[in-house]
Amino acid sequence: MVRNSSTASEILAVRPSRRGFLIGGGAVGLAGLLAACGLGGGGEQGAAGSGKGDIRALFMKQAGYSEENINEMVSAFQKATPEIKVSADFVSYEALHDKIVAAAPAGTYDVVLIDVIWPAEFGSKNVVADVTNRWPASWEQQMLGGAVATPQYDGKFYGVPWILDTKYLFYNSAHLQKAGVDAAQLDTWDGVLDAARALKSGGVVEYPLIWSWQQAEALICDYAQLLGAFGGSFLDDSGQPAFQQEGGVQALEFMRQTIVDGLSNPTSTQSLEEDVRRVFSSGQASLALNWTYMYGLANDPAESQVPGDVQVLQTPSGPSGRPGVNGSMALAVAAGSQNQDAAWKFVEYVTSQQVQEKYALSSLPVWESSYDDPAVVKTNPAVVPQAKKQLGDLILRPQVESYNAMSQALQAEIQLALLGDKTPQQALDDAASKASSLLES
Amino acid sequence: MAGSGGGKGEGRFALLLLLPAAVVVFGVVLYPVVRTFVVSLYDITSPMPGSYPFVGLDNYVKVFQDSAFYTVLGHTMYFTLVSTFLELTLGIAVALLLNAPLKARWLWRSIVVLPWALPTIVNGALWRWIYNGQYGALNGLLDTVGISDTPVQWLGTPFLALNMVIVADVWKNTSIVVFFILAGLQTIPDDLYEAARIDGASAWRGFWRITMPLLAPAIAVVLILRTIEAFKVFDIIYVMTGGGPASGTQTVAFYTYLQAFSNQLFGYGAALAYLIVLAVFALAMAYLRLLRQGQMAGVE
């Protein structure tokens, strides 16, 4: 996200001296960071520590719990556990992965927030600690299935689920009313297309749909949700790419067609979730997929021009159902942490049912029983009922070590199809052949 | 300092004064250069300590077999050539203007430095907003002045996006060119122009025969600076397009970053980074040679 891209400058911040620039240029900056990583020597193995002292945690400032929420949690923990001192850092989602990687060898962080697509990579590369032995058996029953799967890879736990999220369908009820569209129609993707056509022909908005289809992970999240609706899957049972087959191709054809028909805003291919929120909140779109957090902000008069008109539904169903993309995140203990016991205590505290319920407006709890608690339902009465239906039906993106590289290949090819430079079939075939070679190596 | 014939103590003091610079040069420049080379010889796939296989020059071989590398190299060359050319042409023009006896010249000069004073990250975020196809200022402007009311997706197609990123880069970096050239212009004595005028030379001829040759050293320096900076462009792309659409704005530095940090291929990333260093080194050498020749020409 643009909001906090300063990390990029931090990453390449080494300013060469004048002579340095002549012999090496600022590439040295990158080289310097590369040099700091890997090849032994640089890092130390983690240690359990005394369970006391200072710990440092890395969070994101974006969807989910706000910076303010997290700072409150930290001070509440501090009050209850004065022997552990926590300092929290925040970066944007787009910078989170690379910050974790760059900080890993120095053991800078004790606790890091990880996305559902990273446990395979971080677990097998020893960036985060295996906490299977610390996991109480009861949690697996008490947490929702999608949450339990989030920090899991190869039968091991690499963290504790904390943000449980998927993409919901948001609509502008005033727009629908103007176009004479019944919200019940939004139950299927076909119905969504009909609604979009009515909104367009009725002149309510020029482009009824807005998506986060920038060349980024956000694109894969939208694609995953459609892939599931059309009955496709990322990988087959033998672990080979399968998205270039029927359902996967249909999902991409669907996406491309909405652009050709002028139903999707052409800025979609340059938009992240925050851009979607902005366009939707300014009343320039009527329908959008986004994470839970958009509900609160799009209905907030300070942030939105359409407060009160924003409604939320479960993701529409396609020919093969309506799975949501598992967009959850977990808190992990860094493998290089010298104070892993203290780090674990902090993780246990902030992921506890009591703390999660308190902040349910920002992010829904991972604990199953919370969804029947009237106090929790009251915090977010519009989203909780939809979440209750949706969170039992989530699909994971591939849990493979080389996920990032595979995702990048898929993002680029999907964009070529969206821009009309390749047919959906051709683009996905090309992505599949790249993915196969990545999965082999 | 040494010329003043100082004693032994003074020599030591001189060494002491040089120490911080030496630490910086060795620590920040030489150590990473050597270390990166070592890393590039291993197949390192995690930031954590461990034993990784030594692969010799395999990573370099892989770079040259990687079709994506040639694509991003093409983007980088295009970016470098076009942005440097535009920055230089515009920079010289603006500097000539600011060198003229204008009213409130100090004010114009401070305005010109503003874009350069802006951090690249902020500049990138700014232009991302300006170019936005939905609510961007550029489409708004085109609509208001009546040129076009159909919004253009400035960052929507790969080649257009690359050009628009170049425009944003040119907007920011022309400033520094202006300053170098302005400094160069002020060293040219007015009597040369006067003499030319007396001999009946036109202003145009004066520009090509007096201004340009005497500006050569300043132009060469700024050309080196800008080419090298453009060749390793990263942050403006990270902010404005994230390398998209369809990888159309990925440059060598951005690709290196992706491989090293997103994909944790540190050995491969180090090989890529090393190749950037070598390319930049070659560019610097070529320019330094040009600069020397330029100075000779200037003397003649």
What pLDDT does residue B289 have?
82
Confidence at residue B295, expressed as pLDDT on a 0 to 100 scale: 61
> What are the C-alpha distances in Å from A398 to residues A57, A69, A154, A405, A426?
27, 31, 12, 12, 21
B25 touches chain A (CB under 8 A): yes
Helices marked H in A81-144: 93-103, 119-124, 137-142
CATH class of A168-325+402-440: alpha beta
Classify residue A128 by its DSSP letter: B
Q: Do B284 and A97 touch (CB under 8 A)?
A: no
pLDDT of residue A23: 37
Provide the pLDDT for residue B6. Answer: 53
Chain A touched by B21 (CB under 8 Å):
yes
Q: Please give the pLDDT value at position A21.
A: 36
Residue A77 has pLDDT above 60, yes or no: yes
For B52, name the nearest residue in chain A, comparing CA atoms only. A39
Beta bridge partners of B54: B42
Asked if residues A28 and A97 have their Cβ atoms less than 8 Å apart, the reply is: no
The residue assigned the tokens 């975020």 is B125
Give which of A4, A9, A23, A30 to mutate to test B binding, by max B Cβ within 10 Å. Answer: A30
Tokens for A186, please give them: 């939004």
Say what the pLDDT of residue A10 is: 34
Residue A406: list chain B partners with CB under 8 A. none
Give the model confidence (pLDDT) of B206-243 as tens digits: 888 888 888 988 888 898 889 999 999 999 999 999 99
Region class of A395: left (phi > 0), else alpha (psi between -120 and 50), else beta: beta
Span A100-136, pLDDT tens digits: 999 998 999 999 999 999 999 999 999 999 999 999 9
- Tokens coding B116: 């350069």
C-alpha of A225 from chain center: 13
Q: Which structural domain range is residue B182 located in?
A: 57-299
Q: B 36-65 residues with CB below 8 A of A?
A: 36, 38-39, 42, 44-52
Measured between CB atoms, does B291 come within 8 Å of chain A? Answer: no
pLDDT at B257: 95
Question: Between B47, B128, B277, which is nearest A31 by CB?
Answer: B277
Maximum Cα interatomic distance, chain A, rounded to a whole number of Å: 69
Q: Give yes or no for residue B203 having a pLDDT over 90.
A: no
Q: Minimal Cα distance from A280: which residue of B?
A: B134
Residue A9 has pLDDT above 90, yes or no: no
Provide the residue ranges of all domains of chain A, joining segments of one domain with +. 53-165+327-392, 168-325+402-440
Please give the interface size between A and B, counted as residue pairs whose CB atoms are below 8 Å apart.
Answer: 233
Residues of B in contact with A213 (CB under 8 A): none
**How many other CB atoms sit within 10 Å of the CB of residue A135?**
16
Number of domains forming the structure of chain B = 1
**A43 to chain B: which residues are within 8 Å by CB?**
47-49
As a whole number, mean pLDDT of residues A231-239 equals 94
| Residue B259, min C-alpha distance to chain A (Å) | 8
Q: Please, what CATH class does the domain formed by A53-165+327-392 belong to?
A: alpha beta
Distances (CA, A) of B156 to A267, A387, A418, B57, B238: 7, 34, 10, 38, 16
Share of chain A above pLDDT 90, in %: 79
Q: Is the pLDDT of residue A97 over 60?
A: yes
Amino acid A361: pLDDT: 82
> What is the residue type of A160?
V
B238 touches chain A (CB under 8 A): yes
Convert the pLDDT of each residue in A29-75 to its tens digit: 444 445 444 444 444 578 888 888 999 999 998 778 889 999 999 99
**Contact status of B230 with chain A (Cβ, < 8 Å):** no
Q: Which two tokens stand for residue B169?
A: 């880069």
Chain A neighbors of B51, CB-CB under 8 A:
40
Is residue A422 classed as helix, strand or coil in its secondary structure?
A: coil
Query: What's chain B's average pLDDT?
Result: 89
Q: How far is B172 from chain A (nearest CA, A)?
A: 16
* Averaged pLDDT, B157-181: 95
Report the CATH number that the domain containing residue B240 is assigned in CATH.
Answer: 1.10.3720.10
- The answer, yes or no, to whether residue B299 has pLDDT greater than 50, is no
Check pLDDT > 70 for residue A225.
yes
Which range has the worst mean pLDDT, B60-69, B252-261, B291-300?
A: B291-300
B8 domain-assigned: no
Mean pLDDT of all residues in A219-231: 97
Kindly report the nearest CA distance between residue A82 and chain B, in angstroms. Answer: 31
pLDDT of the residue at A32: 45
Whether residue A427 contacts residue B246, with contact meaning beta carbons closer than 8 Å, is answered with no
**Alpha-carbon gap, residue A436 to A235, rounded angstroms:** 10
With CA atoms as reference, the chain B residue closest to A404 would be B263
- Report d(CA B216, CA B297) in Å as an integer: 9
- Chain B residues within 8 A of A269 when measuring between CB atoms: 153, 156, 244-245
Residue A17, pLDDT score:
33
Residue A412 C-alpha, separation from nearest chain B C-alpha, in angstroms: 4
The residue type found at A264 is S
Single-letter code of the amino acid located at A233 = S
Distance CA A283, CA A280 (A): 5
Which residues, in sequence order, are bridge partners of residue A329? Answer: A115, A163
pLDDT digits (tens, 9 = 90+) for A171-222: 999 999 999 999 999 999 999 999 999 999 999 999 999 999 999 999 999 9
The tokens 């939809």 sit on which residue?
A386
Structure tokens given for A436: 């196969």
Mean pLDDT across A309-320: 96
Distance CA A117, CA A129 (A): 16
Alpha helices in chain B (DSSP H): 8-24, 31-39, 58-65, 67-99, 105-117, 120-131, 137-144, 158-185, 190-198, 203-206, 212-231, 235-240, 252-257, 266-299
Q: Which has more confidence, A249 or B192?
A: A249
Per-residue tokens: A402? 């080389």
The whole-angstrom distance between B196's CA and the closest CA on chain A is: 38
Burial class (CB in 10 A: 0-12, 13-18, 19+), B107: exposed
Q: Which residue has the higher pLDDT, A94 or A346?
A: A346
Q: Which residues contact A403 (CB under 8 A, 6 or more apart)?
A: A117, A118, A120, A121, A397
What residues 99-158 of chain B have any CB closer than 8 A to a CB of chain A?
119-121, 124-125, 128, 132-135, 151, 153, 155-158
Nearest by Cα to A305 from A277, A283, A276, A278: A283
B276–A25 CB contact, under 8 Å: yes
Which tens digit of pLDDT belongs to each residue from A255-291? 999 999 999 999 999 999 989 999 999 999 999 999 9
Domains A53-165+327-392 and A168-325+402-440 share a fold: yes
Q: Which of B44, B256, B261, B262 to mutate to test the interface with A (most CBs of A within 10 A)?
A: B261
CB A337 within 8 A of CB A128: no
Tokens of B47: 């930031």
Q: What one-letter code names the amino acid at B36?
A: T
A61 token code pair: 């400032």
The token pair that represents A146 in the structure block: 């999608």
**Set of chain B residues whose Cβ sits within 8 Å of the Cβ of A407:** none
Q: Chain A closest CA to B150's CA: distance in Å?
A: 12
Question: Which residue would you say has higher pLDDT here, B175 or A51?
Answer: B175
- Pick the residue from chain A with its C-alpha nearest to B132: A267
Residue the block writes with tokens 């007015």: B190
How many alpha carbons lie under 13 Å from residue A5 in its C-beta half-sphere?
21
Mean pLDDT, residues A351-359 taken together = 95
What value does the CA radius of gyration of chain B take, rounded to a whole number of Å? 24
What is the Cα–Cα distance from B175 to B95, expressed in whole angstroms? 9
pLDDT tens digits for A364-414?
Answer: 999 999 999 999 999 888 899 999 889 989 999 999 999 999 999 999 999
Nearest to A103 by CA among A42, A172, A187: A42
Output the pLDDT for position B297: 55
Q: What is the pLDDT of residue A22?
A: 36
Q: What is the pLDDT of residue A233?
A: 95
Place of tokens 């021009």: A305
Question: Exposed/middle/buried for B58, CB within 10 Å: 0-12, 13-18, 19+?
Answer: middle
A151 falls in which pLDDT band (50, 70, 90)? very high
Q: Which residues of A touch B251 (CB under 8 A)?
A: none
Cβ distance B171 to B258 under 8 Å? Answer: no
- Picking from A19, A97, A266, the nearest residue to B262 by CB comes out as A97
**In which band, very low, low, confident or very high, does the pLDDT at B7 lie, cut at 50, 70 and 90?**
low
pLDDT over threshold 90, residue B290: no
CB A428 within 8 A of CB A409: no
The pLDDT score that the predictor gives to residue A19 is: 35
Nearest CB to B134; choose among A22, A214, A265: A265
Three-state DSSP state, A3: helix
Q: Two tokens at A185?
A: 């129609």
The average pLDDT across B243-271 equals: 94
CA distance A287 to A312: 10
- Mean residue pLDDT of chain A comes to 89
Confidence class of residue A8 from pLDDT cuts 50, 70 and 90?
very low
